[in-house]
Amino acid sequence: MSTRCLLADDHPALVVALSDFLERSGIDVVAIARDGAEAVELAKAESPDVALIDYRMPRLAGAELIEGIRAAAPGTKVVVYTAEMGDSLARDALGAGASGVVLKEAPLVDILRAVDTALHGRTYVDPALAGQALLNPRAGGTLLTRRERQVLELLAEGLSHEEIGERLGISGETVRTHLQKASERLGAGTRTQAVATALRLGLIS
């Protein structure tokens, strides 16, 4: 069964292009909203698998829009599609319950990657946001906790879970928990991907 998607954007040309792309990619666009309030209403009526939304919409926008959709349709994953590069947007969106943030300037295939990541219970953040505070621990970012970064750094050095646990004074099981959460935040399917993504984004060195 194909993925059911709610598309919310107030730019008609973009809606047409995105809807066509999603349909051709096997994603069923079950509803289209032209403003935030309508997006919440349609989410409640349709309970789609995922809602792909513009962060800035008329009537209801931003974190309130995300929270509104999540309250109206708890099973719906929210992926934000935005032109903004502000260092607070992604942090606010994820904090409000979004499962992904994709920049409008990114290749369209990144939307599919974000949707797939969200549907698998993980978080997707556009790699182009690597330079923003959200993804830069030295700038006070919060994508990964200090312990999660430590675990990934030691993993990158080739240490096993048990060796990492001994180094940090925690159990191997706790190491696995930190690694799992870090992988989810980074949208990585394996620990190798988690390390590679963290290195690429400058989260670890």
pLDDT tens profile 42-84? 999 999 999 999 999 999 999 999 999 999 999 999 999 988 7
Question: Can you give the residue range of the structural domain that contains 105?
Answer: 3-131
In a domain, 205, yes or no: no
CA 59 distance to own-chain centroid: 24
Pair (108, 165) in one structural domain: no
Angle, nearest 10°, between helix axes 172-186 and 146-156?
100
What CATH number is attached to the domain comprising 45?
3.40.50.2300
- On whether both 26 and 122 belong to a single domain, the answer is yes
Residue 138 falls within a domain, yes or no? no
Assess whether 88 and 37 both reside in one domain: yes
End of a domain among 90, 109, 131? Answer: 131
Edge to edge, what strands does the sheet with 124-125 contain? 27-33, 3-8, 50-54, 77-82, 100-103, 124-125
Return the CATH number at 166: 1.10.10.10
From residue 40, alpha-carbon distances to 52, 87, 127, 146 in Å are 12, 26, 28, 36
158 plus 88 within the same structural domain: no
Residue 75 lies in a domain: yes
84-115 residue pLDDT tens:
766 577 778 887 889 888 988 888 888 998 99
Question: Would you say the pTM of this structure is higher than 0.75?
Answer: no
